[in-house]
């Protein structure tokens, strides 16, 4: 098979993980108008909780359910105790506080698990590769694509088909109006923040068998997540999906065309999208 | 105690030694201590290496305690892996404590900058960084290097592997695009040419890359017999982990030319490393009297086997102290003279410092990862297949002292 076709398939695999990483950040910004620099740290926690769960002998699949819930709970508590107090402050405060939270979490990870990286074994049924002619792809990465697609549908249903979802969408248009309709906006905020952090943790747990865990993975993830949110459009679910896939495919295809610039091209793609569509692919003006 | 607890201990001791600094300075000055600096990354992506390096210097300084009737003292400097920060912290220590002896610099970029700074400040600097330039085009009177540079690392891994597998004719390389990676790649290409090996492709990547699947897709499309990884630290771990997940171990031989030793095996685990070839500067299982003594000391203090970062820092510090004793003075010019041509019992057997370029002549090792079931103890991850000394002749290094 043509190497570029292989790279597109691989790019979809990377892109689905990127989508999962970025969608929470996007939703949080869309509703709360809140810039969350701690998002990468929730991804980091997800990966390390998954590592710990597997090290304790828990099944990876159980970890995939429990870890996002645990991180969501932690994020919900952080929102209630800390972040809720600064929503009405300018963005600089948001950045200051969430960068602080991210650093505390990162250092906590180093204290508990040490500065060295670790490995998470690929779950047994998805070890090995699939082969179709010259196409070779790890089974686990295929699983991640499928799982993330199903999860994306679920998330789309939550946002489009449930009362919480309509409150979120309405809230992102006008918080005051939603509050006047008798909906407890702060409760919705807390839930959305927890949901966003939970999806980041899920991305971390899913990525752990591919990339291993190390204390600095959150920073790298945060950079990528911001690029995708900007490319896709702030606050847009479909934008996060389109942005994630676009960036994943660009990165992968460029690994063949111009390997030394593959990383750089992520940012070039972002700049190009911003020049053509200043509000992102699916963003609202 | 396992290694993680050891690292936590290191973090705690670093914190403790950072706190009562003025007190330590006062005490040290009163006793006229000979001051050492340990400039290594203690934060950022290479922090783990820095933390072990700190333990290595501590072990050497405490082993000697006193030389020339003066106590030894050292200060840990966090370079953050950045040349500018490294140079600034070095200057501060020279000015504040009169330190003249520095052993550190994990990354080639910071080591090159610190070497130049050492020369300006009438100090002596010894490093384990890899770029050829350190004892090549950018060499200077004040800079020494313990580790084997990129040329020898390739000569002692790629060449024996080609000889061992004469039918493996197609090689693919993955290379980080900076001075260190290019050094390894150039050396590898020279051997390919000489041996008639087909270099079926190379993927350069940036120093911040973590996703290697795209490069591996390229590599697999080229159908190589051998995948040669020329990156370092966590990037080489990521590349290996992802290569294994793409099933490359089944029909491709994987060689990581510059592994960081025991800590890397621990973070990857035995299953991933089984059957993979690794190049190494140091391995705790080396059968040499100097290493046996060192491993015993390290086990006594840390209750664990020493890894490369710890060993490198220990031996660099020890070399400096031995030279001070040999010179009978802590005057840098005299110590440099003592270092030049010094022969000693090192961690890899008999080692000596080449006077013309200040390069330590020592062994480099080719290891192969063992199956988990074949491991005799928890650190017995690999067998040493071969080793030896390979260095460019001084005339070809570009060094003029």
Per-residue pLDDT of B219-259, as tens digits, reads: 998 999 999 999 988 889 999 999 999 989 988 999 999 99
- pLDDT for the residue numbered B6: 56
Q: Do domains B3-149+286-361 and B151-284+364-397 have the same CATH topology?
A: yes
CB of B384 closer than 8 Å to CB of B283: yes
Per DSSP, the three-state class of A256 is: helix
Q: What would the pLDDT profile of A75-110 be if each residue is shown by its tens digit?
A: 999 999 998 888 888 888 889 999 999 999 999 998
Return the CA Rg of chain B: 21
Q: B277 - beta bridge partners?
A: B255, B368
CB of A112 closer than 8 Å to CB of A52: no
What is the rounded distance in angstroms from the CA atom of residue A278 to the CA atom of residue B7? 47
- pLDDT for the residue numbered B19: 45
Query: Inter-chain contact B245–A220, Cβ cutoff 8 Å?
Result: no
- A14 contacts on B by Cβ (under 8 Å): 211, 213-214
Task: Report residue B313: phi and psi, to 5°.
Answer: -65, -40
- pLDDT for the residue numbered B166: 92
The alpha carbon of B342 is separated from its chain's Cα centroid by a whole number of angstroms, namely 20
- B242 contacts on A by Cβ (under 8 Å): 210-211
Pairing verdict, β B198-205 and B349-354: unpaired
CB of A180 closer than 8 Å to CB of A169: no
A131 pLDDT more than 60:
yes
B209 pLDDT more than 50:
yes
Query: Inter-chain contact A263–B7, Cβ cutoff 8 Å?
Result: no
Query: Inter-chain contact A216–B44, Cβ cutoff 8 Å?
Result: yes
- B237 contacts on A by Cβ (under 8 Å): 117, 212
Per DSSP, the three-state class of A14 is: helix
Nearest to B89 by CA among B45, B121, B65: B121
Distance (Å) from the C-alpha of residue B253 to the closest C-alpha of chain A? Answer: 17
Distance (Å) from the C-alpha of residue A155 to the closest C-alpha of chain B? Answer: 26
Token reading at A146: 């499928």
Residue B194's contacts (CB-CB under 8 Å, 6 or more residues apart) are none
CATH fold group of domain A3-276: ABC transporter involved in vitamin B12 uptake, BtuC (1.10.3470)
Q: What would the pLDDT profile of B362-376 be if each residue is shown by its tens digit?
A: 999 999 999 999 999
* Chain A interface includes B207 (CB < 8 A): no
Q: Which pLDDT band holds residue B29 (cuts at 50, 70, 90)?
A: very low
Mutation target among A115, A126, A132, A247 for the B interface, most CBs of B within 10 A = A115
- B214 contacts on A by Cβ (under 8 Å): 7, 10-11, 14, 251-256, 259, 262
- A252 contacts on B by Cβ (under 8 Å): 213-214, 217
Per DSSP, the three-state class of B313 is: helix
What is the rounded distance in angstroms from the CA atom of residue A211 to the CA atom of residue A18? 13
**Nearest Cβ partner for A259 among B215, B241, B271:** B215
Q: Which pLDDT band holds residue B23 (cuts at 50, 70, 90)?
A: very low
CATH fold group of domain B3-149+286-361: Rossmann fold (3.40.50)
Token reading at A175: 């918080």
- pLDDT for the residue numbered B31: 57
Q: What would the pLDDT profile of A204-231 be if each residue is shown by its tens digit?
A: 999 999 989 999 899 889 999 999 999 9
A184 pLDDT more than 90:
no
User: Considering only A72-76, A125-129, A169-173, B325-329, which range has the smallest mean pLDDT?
Assistant: A169-173
Q: What would the pLDDT profile of A248-278 be if each residue is shown by its tens digit?
A: 999 999 888 888 788 888 899 999 988 988 8
- pLDDT for the residue numbered A285: 53
Nearest to B136 by CA among B120, B157, B115: B115
Distance (Å) from the C-alpha of residue A2 to the closest C-alpha of chain B? Answer: 9
CB of B180 closer than 8 Å to CB of B127: no
The ranges assigned to domains in chain B are 3-149+286-361, 151-284+364-397
CB of A166 closer than 8 Å to CB of A157: no
B13 pLDDT more than 80:
no
Query: Inter-chain contact A252–B245, Cβ cutoff 8 Å?
Result: no
The ranges assigned to domains in chain A are 3-276
- pLDDT for the residue numbered A20: 95
B14 pLDDT more than 70:
no
Q: What is the mean pLDDT of chain B?
A: 90
Mutation target among B52, B55, B204, B213 for the A interface, most CBs of A within 10 A = B213
B7 pLDDT more than 60:
no
- A144 contacts on B by Cβ (under 8 Å): none
Q: What would the pLDDT profile of B346-363 be if each residue is shown by its tens digit?
A: 999 999 999 999 999 999
Q: What would the pLDDT profile of B162-172 be if each residue is shown by its tens digit?
A: 999 999 999 99
CATH fold group of domain B151-284+364-397: Rossmann fold (3.40.50)
- A214 contacts on B by Cβ (under 8 Å): 234
- pLDDT for the residue numbered B338: 97
- pLDDT for the residue numbered B9: 54
How confident is the model over B47-67, as a mean pLDDT?
A: 93
How confident is the model over A13-19, as a mean pLDDT?
A: 93
Q: What would the pLDDT profile of B314-349 be if each residue is shown by its tens digit?
A: 999 999 999 999 999 999 999 999 999 999 999 999
DSSP for residue B44: S
CB of B311 closer than 8 Å to CB of B318: no
Q: Angle at CA B55, nearest 5°, toward B181 and B293?
A: 95
CB of A26 closer than 8 Å to CB of A234: yes
Distance (Å) from the C-alpha of residue B46 to the closest C-alpha of chain A? Answer: 9
How confident is the model over A180-187, as a mean pLDDT?
A: 85
Token reading at A125: 């049924």
User: Considering only A23-32, A102-111, A129-138, which range has the smallest mean pLDDT?
Assistant: A129-138
* Chain A interface includes B227 (CB < 8 A): no
Q: Which pLDDT band holds residue B201 (cuts at 50, 70, 90)?
A: very high
- A114 contacts on B by Cβ (under 8 Å): 3-4, 7-8, 48
Q: Which pLDDT band holds residue A173 (cuts at 50, 70, 90)?
A: confident
Query: Inter-chain contact B48–A116, Cβ cutoff 8 Å?
Result: yes
- pLDDT for the residue numbered B58: 96
What is the rounded distance in angstroms from the CA atom of residue B214 to the CA atom of residue A254? 8
Residue bearing tokens 């909780």: A49
Distance (Å) from the C-alpha of residue B256 to the closest C-alpha of chain A? Answer: 17
- Tell me the HSE value of A111 on the side-chain side, using a 13 A CA sphere: 8
Q: What would the pLDDT profile of B107-143 be if each residue is shown by its tens digit?
A: 888 999 999 999 999 999 999 998 889 999 999 999 9
**What CA–CA distances, in Å, run from B267 to A63, B40, B271, B322?**
21, 21, 11, 34
Instruction: Tell me how many residue pairs between chain A and chain B have CB atoms under 8 A apart.
Output: 119
Token reading at B60: 């050497």
What is the rounded distance in angstroms from the CA atom of residue B304 to the CA atom of residue B313? 16
Q: B366 - beta bridge partners?
A: B279, B386
- pLDDT for the residue numbered B37: 97
B154 pLDDT more than 80:
yes
DSSP assignments along A43-71, one per residue: HHHHHHHHHHHHHTT--HHHHHHHHHHHH
Residue bearing tokens 């491709």: B252
- B206 contacts on A by Cβ (under 8 Å): 260, 262-264
What is the rounded distance in angstroms from the CA atom of residue A131 to the CA atom of residue B246? 10
**Nearest Cβ partner for A136 among B44, B47, B246:** B246
DSSP for residue B281: S
């Amino acid at each position: 098979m043509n190497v570029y076709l292989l790279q597109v398939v691989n790019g979809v695999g990377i892109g689905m993980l990127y989508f999962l990483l970025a969608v929470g950040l996007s939703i949080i910004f869309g509703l709360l108008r809140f810039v969350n620099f701690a998002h990468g740290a929730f991804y980091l926690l997800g990966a390390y909780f998954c590592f710990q769960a597997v090290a304790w002998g828990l099944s990876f699949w159980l970890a995939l359910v429990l870890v996002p819930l645990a991180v969501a709970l932690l994020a919900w508590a952080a929102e209630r105790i800390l972040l809720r107090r600064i929503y009405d402050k300018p963005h600089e405060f948001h950045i200051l506080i969430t960068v602080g939270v991210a650093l505390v979490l990162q250092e906590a990870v180093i204290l508990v698990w040490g500065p060295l990286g670790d490995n998470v074994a690929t779950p047994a049924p998805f070890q090995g590769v699939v082969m179709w002619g010259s196409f070779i792809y790890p089974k686990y990465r295929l699983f991640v694509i499928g799982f993330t697609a199903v999860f994306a549908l679920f998330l789309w249903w939550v946002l489009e088909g449930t009362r919480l979802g309509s409150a979120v969408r309405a809230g992102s248009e006008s918080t005051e109006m939603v509050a006047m309709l008798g909906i407890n906006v702060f409760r919705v905020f807390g839930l959305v923040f927890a949901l966003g952090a939970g999806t980041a943790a899920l991305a971390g747990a899913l990525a752990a068998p591919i990339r291993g865990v190390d204390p600095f993975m959150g920073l790298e993830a945060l950079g990528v997540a911001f690029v995708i949110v900007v490319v896709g459009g702030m606050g847009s679910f479909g934008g996060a999906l389109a942005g994630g896939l676009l960036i994943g495919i660009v990165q992968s295809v460029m690994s063949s065309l111009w390997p030394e610039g593959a990383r750089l091209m992520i940012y070039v793609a972002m700049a190009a999208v911003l020049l053509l569509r200043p509000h992102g692919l699916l963003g609202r003006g | 105690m396992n290694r993680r607890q050891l690292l936590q201990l290191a973090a705690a001791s670093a914190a403790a030694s950072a706190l009562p600094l003025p007190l330590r300075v006062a005490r040290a000055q009163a006793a006229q201590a000979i001051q050492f600096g340990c400039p290594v990354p203690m934060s950022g992506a290479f922090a783990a290496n820095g933390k072990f390096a700190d333990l290595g210097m501590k072990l050497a300084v405490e082993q000697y305690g006193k030389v020339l009737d003066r106590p030894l003292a050292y200060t840990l400097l966090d370079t953050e892996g950045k040349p500018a920060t490294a140079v600034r912290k070095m200057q501060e220590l020279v000015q504040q404590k009169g330190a003249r002896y520095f052993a550190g610099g994990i990354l080639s970029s910071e080591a090159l900058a610190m070497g130049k700074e050492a020369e300006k400040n009438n100090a002596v600097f010894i490093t384990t960084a890899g770029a050829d330039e350190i004892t090549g085009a950018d060499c200077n009177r004040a800079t020494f290097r313990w580790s084997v540079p990129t040329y020898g690392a390739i000569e002692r891994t790629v060449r024996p592997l080609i000889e061992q597998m004469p039918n493996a004719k197609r090689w693919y390389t993955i290379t980080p695009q900076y001075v260190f990676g290019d050094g390894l790649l150039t050396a590898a290409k020279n051997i390919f040419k000489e041996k008639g090996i087909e270099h079926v492709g190379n993927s350069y990547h940036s120093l911040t890359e973590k996703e290697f699947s795209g490069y591996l897709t390229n590599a697999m499309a080229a159908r190589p017999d051998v995948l040669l990884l020329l990156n370092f630290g966590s990037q080489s771990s990521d590349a290996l982990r992802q290569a294994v997940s793409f099933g490359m171990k089944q029909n491709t031989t994987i060689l990581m030319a510059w592994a960081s030793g025991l800590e890397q095996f621990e973070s990857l685990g035995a299953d991933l490393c089984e059957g993979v070839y690794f190049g190494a500067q140091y391995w705790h299982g080396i059968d040499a009297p100097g290493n046996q003594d060192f491993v015993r000391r390290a086990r006594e203090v840390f209750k664990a086997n020493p890894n490369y970062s710890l060993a490198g820092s220990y031996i660099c510090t020890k070399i400096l102290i031995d030279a001070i004793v040999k010179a009978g003075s802590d005057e840098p010019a005299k110590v440099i003279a003592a270092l030049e041509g010094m022969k000693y019992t090192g961690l890899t057997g008999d080692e000596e410092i080449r006077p013309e370029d200040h390069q330590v002549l020592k062994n480099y090792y080719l290891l192969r990862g063992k199956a988990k079931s074949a491991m005799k103890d928890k650190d017995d991850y690999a067998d040493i297949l071969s080793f030896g000394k390979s260095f460019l002749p001084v005339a070809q290094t570009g060094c003029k002292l």
